[in-house]
Chains A and B, each alone.
Chain A
């Protein structure tokens, strides 16, 4: 018994660690680890992973909020879309054939690998468009972390409907695939709504727990979260993420970026192959 429990905990610990180092989150790694290495059906892995995403994100975004990077209003407007998508996705996950889930996971990993390899936007929008102004979405962020008294930098927001549409997709993939969908959330805010990258990342971190929580509630209410797997996975991924986020200070992750991109492509290939061999 201890081999099974220890094995699951080790997989979760490693996934949480890599998830934190790569900035992709533990869900992206624990789902394929459970499917490929622990021979657990995709649907079962999704239920367990959603719980681990909720656990990991519970304390992760506090520092960003405290430092003033999170735009709470943007988060709340967009959460309407992500939560709707996550509830729909988690509901559908119970009715979609396993090969379709695996194929979608493979495609999502490829998209995430492409996003990881692409240069992110660095510009700041000076003024919000009409809808964003009416919703008072503009914000400020600290100019310098080392000098808190420096004048904060203000930024604008645009294309809220476009961002919400991408967020709906992020919610659906989160509920269907058991991941935080952080990459898609950052795309919605950074590339579509033109928020500063660090504000996008911090706001995305704040939103991930609520999005995954929406999916987790559907699975839990349906009685579909396998406790024997979900408990060690939630504890292991959270512990791994804690260690990983502490290590970020000491490790220069830039040289690891290519490794993470390759890892995502490999996972995408394996999951895609599994899906296609089942059709």
Chain B
């Protein structure tokens, strides 16, 4: 299949060997590496947030849990504010960033598939993956609206 985009990931030699080889190489080598890296970053942030919660004011975590038991879960959604709080050592903000990083895993997985199909020049599947990506982003917009 024709090469339609620049060699983004260094596997141009795979193109002439057919779709399955190329799919396999991307999925076997690159996708797990990136997904695992994101997952590890997220786990480190979540664990750091929990350690901060344990070592911080003793009643803060329990109070947050009790609020959640009463349905009071609202967290800040503005990214600059969350980062600002995280830099000040706020455990909730650190854990929120950890959860945000975690949601990058599915986004990255679909993005990889998008690049794969784009590279193969398979535009029907480029459209399918573009729709999935757009829907994921639309989900963020819908969440912001309420």
User: Which residues of A does B touch, CB under 8 Å?
Assistant: 1-2, 4-5, 8, 38-41, 43-44, 47, 51, 54-55, 58-59, 62, 65-66, 68, 72-73, 76-77, 79-80, 83-84, 86-87, 90-91, 94, 135, 209-210, 212-232, 234-235, 238
User: Which residues of B does A touch, CB under 8 Å?
Assistant: 23-24, 27-28, 31-32, 35-36, 38-39, 42-43, 46-47, 49-50, 53-54, 58-59, 61-62, 64-65, 67-71, 73-77, 91-92, 95-96, 98-100, 102-103, 105-107, 109-110, 113, 117, 124-125, 128-129, 131-132, 135-136, 138-144, 146
Whether A221 contacts B102 in the complex (CB less than 8 A), given A76-B129, A84-B135, comes out as no
Cβ–Cβ contact B50 & A5, under 8 A:
yes
Cβ–Cβ contact A227 & B96, under 8 A:
yes
A residues near B61, Cβ cutoff 8 Å: 1, 4-5, 228
Nearest CB in chain B: distance from A93 CB, A: 11
Measured in the bound complex, the distance between the Cα atoms of B109 and A54 in whole Å is: 12
Minimal Cβ-Cβ distance residue in B for A209: B106
A residues near B23, Cβ cutoff 8 Å: 72
Cβ–Cβ contact B50 & A220, under 8 A:
no
Cβ–Cβ contact A44 & B106, under 8 A:
no
Measured in the bound complex, the distance between the Cα atoms of B43 and A222 in whole Å is: 22
Q: Is the interface of B mostly helix, strand, loop or mixed?
A: helix
Cβ–Cβ contact A79 & B54, under 8 A:
no
Cβ–Cβ contact B50 & A77, under 8 A:
no
A selection of 24 A-B contacts at a CB cut-off of 8 Å is: A5-B54, A54-B102, A54-B103, A54-B106, A62-B31, A87-B142, A209-B105, A209-B106, A213-B106, A217-B103, A217-B136, A217-B139, A218-B142, A220-B96, A223-B74, A223-B75, A224-B73, A224-B75, A226-B68, A227-B95, A227-B99, A231-B46, A234-B46, A235-B50
Whether A43 contacts B71 in the complex (CB less than 8 A), given A210-B106, A227-B99, comes out as yes
B residues near A59, Cβ cutoff 8 Å: 32, 35-36, 39
Cβ–Cβ contact B132 & A210, under 8 A:
yes
B residues near A55, Cβ cutoff 8 Å: 39, 42-43, 102, 105
Measured in the bound complex, the distance between the Cα atoms of B5 and A70 in whole Å is: 25
Identify the interface centre among A5, A40, A59, A72: most chain B CB within 10 Å of its CB: A72
Cβ–Cβ contact B35 & A213, under 8 A:
no
Whether A225 contacts B98 in the complex (CB less than 8 A), given A58-B39, A209-B106, A217-B136, comes out as no
